[in-house]
Amino acid sequence: MADVRKIDSRVSEIILSAGDYSAGIYTFGAVLHSFSIGGRDIVVGYDSYTPYLAGDGYMSEVIGPFANRIAGASFMMDGRRCTLEKNDGENSLHSGSRNFGSAFWKIDSAEDSSVQLSLESREGGGFPGNHHAEVVYTLTPDGRLSILYRLSSDERCPVNMTNHAYFNLDGAGDVRNHMLTLSCPEYLETTPDLIPAGRASVSSTDFDFRTGEIIGKRRNGEYDTCFVFGRERKAVLENDEYRLSVVTDLPAIQIYTGISLSSPVPGKGGRMIVPFSGVAMETEFFPDFPNHPEYPGAYTEPGKTFESMTTYQLVRK
């Protein structure tokens, strides 16, 4: 079931229900406001949509047209240099002010347990072309919440869309006590400002989560890292009661353990949002791929729509 609840003249919340599961999506930022099983909400966030407007931590937004970082806030494409906003030191992060997560989306359809949102984004911020973005959230009775991303443009443009939800299976507290398993034999080493410096094996490093590890056991749980999937493209987050599995058709996943999470506004239930309140699991192409032809990535083309799917499955053990 899809229930559309109008909040004010700008924003509605769509509540998807299927069996014991529910999910809430705001039209602002296409934000994933909640994902619950039997009343246990695993998404870190706020009780209303207004605090999301500040954009702190990109919480639960659909990021686009380009998630993650682009070095020097520029790239060459088809013989011309595209210059972006610098909003992360000298680099561009999450598309700057043109981020789709900072816009108001419209509801195209809401039926059964699915909703399609769309956005028209005019050229700006250095990203070429006028974009038509679509996001389809679908919830099934076995706890699968799928996010289908579509993007078309009247010009060629690099695309790297994701969702920036922070998850905490306890519903509150420190996420570093969670177990994380990644089907990732490699990760991207980075410069101090988190620009990729090359692929490296996870073997015998603090980045090896192939057989599962408690997040806080190494590095004090501090990760803001792009992990490269192998043959299987799957990540699993779990505690004693619940398991959240993530599968995708994208080649990598950014694991960010909320190192700098902080909000002056209380989160859900009056709880403060502080470092390690949740972990973001951002399925993606490689960061900075427009500056690295050897990295996997994708581009919109006139008349050709980019499409990608990521599915989160929440189960009680």
CA–CA separation, 126 vs 124, rounded Å?
Answer: 5
- Is 0.85 surpassed by the pTM of this model? yes
CA–CA separation, 133 vs 120, rounded Å?
Answer: 7
Active site (catalytic) residues: 164, 282
Q: Which CATH architecture has domain 2-316?
A: Distorted Sandwich (2.70)
Residue-level pLDDT, tens digit, the chain, 317 residues: 999 999 999 999 999 999 999 999 999 999 999 999 999 999 999 999 999 998 788 999 999 999 999 999 999 999 999 999 999 999 999 999 889 999 999 999 999 999 999 999 987 778 999 999 999 999 999 999 999 999 999 999 999 999 999 999 999 999 999 999 999 999 999 999 999 999 999 999 999 999 999 999 999 999 999 999 999 999 999 999 999 999 999 999 999 999 999 998 999 999 999 999 999 999 999 999 999 999 999 999 998 999 999 999 999 99
